[in-house]
Amino acid sequence: MTERSSVDRATPLGQLIIATQTAERRGCGVSNEQRSKPGRTGSEAGAPAAGAALVPAQRERSRWRQRISTTLALIRANPTGRLALKVFVAITGAIIVTVGIALIPLPGPGWLLVIAGLGVWAVEFHWARRLLTFTRRHVYNWTEWVKRQSLSVRFVIGSVGLVFVSTVVWLSLKYSVGIDVVAWVLGHLRPR
């Protein structure tokens, strides 16, 4: 009969510990950043503190998210993998953010792509994680503030937003493609 660990292998913490221990057995170092993940003590290499229990109130992460966490832990356990991951995340995030910034004045998901690029960078960079948290907090506060306003104030805010987006689309079409939508509409409205 085999002796079971105090951490169940099916939990995300258990999988992360197993991945870290496997990487250490293979001769790869594990960074202090990985050792100080939530649920782990800084003094122990791979086991939780005695008497530490997983909080049942924590929501269970989905299976694919557990697999991504385990894979990232294995990649970060190897110095070459850690550097390759940083470079890959930096380049991928830069491409997504650049495309998003290019799409901001055009009709399309510009801001959404910029925030998605920040999310990619947040996987590896602390400054991006802080900026993403700041952005989420302010967007949430803004939407909550708008929800508390009367219907007439929300209508004015929506109208101002619609006018702003329409102006940006009109100017983008006029100066980038050469299509003046306002002149075209006015030309069709004049009596002949």
Going by pLDDT thresholds of 50, 70 and 90, the confidence category of residue 26 is low
CB of 116 closer than 8 Å to CB of 109:
no
Whose CA is closest to 120, among 100, 146, 144, 143?
A: 100
Burial of 62 (0-12, 13-18, 19+ CB in 10 A): exposed
CB of 41 closer than 8 Å to CB of 48:
yes
Task: Give the DSSP letter of residue 50.
Answer: T
**Could you give the percent of the chain with pLDDT greater than 90?**
21
Q: Give the whole-angstrom CA distance, residue 12 versus residue 59.
A: 11
Going by pLDDT thresholds of 50, 70 and 90, the confidence category of residue 173 is confident
Going by pLDDT thresholds of 50, 70 and 90, the confidence category of residue 95 is very high
Q: Is the pLDDT of residue 122 over 80?
A: yes
- What tokens appear for 104 in the block? 């901001």
Q: What is the pLDDT of residue 42?
A: 44
In one-letter notation, the amino acid at residue 138 is H
Q: Where are the domains of the chain?
A: 1-48+55-77, 81-145, 149-192
Residues whose CB falls within 8 Å of the CB of residue 84, separated by 6 or more in sequence, listed in order: 75
| Arithmetic mean of pLDDT over the chain | 75
